[in-house]
Amino acid sequence: MINIEVVLSPALLHLNTIRDTNVVVIDILRATSTICTAIHHGANSVKALMSQSETLEWAEKGYLTAAERNGQKIEGFDLGNSPFECMDGKVNGRSIALTTTNGTKCIEAVANDGARNVFSGSFLNLEAMANFLANDKGDVLLLCAGWKDSVNLEDTLFAGALAHELNNRTDCKIDCDAALMSMDIYQMAKVDLISYLKKSSHYKRLSHLHHEEDMVYCLKHSIFETVCGLKDGEMKKF
């Protein structure tokens, strides 16, 4: 029986135990979707980092550097945080050092706390992720990156979607109200995720920055099979 817990904001993470659980970090718009896209398109690995200065240092090791703050690409880095930047062959065979406003901080926060595994969650590989977790049988903690410690709709929706997919595949125990809530929201919104998300704060933020195409892409359902998880401290094909 797999126990599923959802953490709606990193500010609530201290209430949960991550030891020996399969942690899925969720930053649908856009960090964890971009990480999965980069790895699917042939990147060797993505190193998630908290600070811009730390990230730039990885250039000396031959890494491409990538950075985003408040939705915007940062000057001086090779890439921003758009999944489309990972599709033109530039990342193929390369390792990437990435820092973003929320997503990479969340990955770093759980990287060394004894989790069974740490994954990068996305709608893009939802079914593959659910298959892996169902076969593995370890308890699951779905960690929403949110926005600066606030809850957001898009990460909550994905947590609900993955909880549903898992529950459809194997016996699950879902006693966590955040999980039940996210599953209900997903049921309500799933017919047209993009329309539902138009009222959300991050949709509006990214629209102002003309990132609509990224959002449409990041909400695509199970378009590839690649599962991405931490190996030796970096996100890699799992």
Binding region for ligand 3SL (CB under 6 A)? 27, 29-31, 68, 71, 81, 100-103, 206
If the CB atoms of residues 103 and 229 are measured against ligand 3SL, the closer one turns out to be 103
Q: In sequence order, what are the beta bridge partners of 180? A: none
Q: How far is the CB of 120 from ligand 3SL (least distance, A)?
A: 11
C-beta atoms surrounding 228 within 10 Å: 28
User: Contact, 84 vs 213, CB < 8 A?
Assistant: yes
Q: How far is the CB of 214 from ligand 3SL (least distance, A)?
A: 7
- Please list, in sequence order, all residues whose beta carbon lies within 8 angstroms of the beta carbon of residue 12, skipping any fewer than 6 positions away: none
Q: Show the tokens assigned to 29.
A: 């718009």
Q: How far is the CB of 238 from ligand 3SL (least distance, A)?
A: 21
Q: How far is the CB of 71 from ligand 3SL (least distance, A)?
A: 3
If the CB atoms of residues 108 and 139 are measured against ligand 3SL, the closer one turns out to be 108
If the CB atoms of residues 5 and 154 are measured against ligand 3SL, the closer one turns out to be 154
Give the DSSP per-residue string, 4-41.
Answer: EEEESSGGGGGGS--TTSEEEEE-TTTHHHHHHHHHHT
If the CB atoms of residues 30 and 164 are measured against ligand 3SL, the closer one turns out to be 30
With CA atoms as reference, report the closest residue to 99 among 46, 40, 144, 143. Answer: 46
CA 204 from chain centre, in angstroms, equals 20
If the CB atoms of residues 30 and 236 are measured against ligand 3SL, the closer one turns out to be 30
Q: How far is the CB of 220 from ligand 3SL (least distance, A)?
A: 16
Q: How far, in Å, CA of 97 to CA of 154, rounded?
A: 24
Q: How far is the CB of 102 from ligand 3SL (least distance, A)?
A: 3
Q: How far, in Å, CA of 234 to CA of 91, rounded?
A: 15
Helix, strand, or coil here: 209?
Answer: coil
If the CB atoms of residues 68 and 108 are measured against ligand 3SL, the closer one turns out to be 68
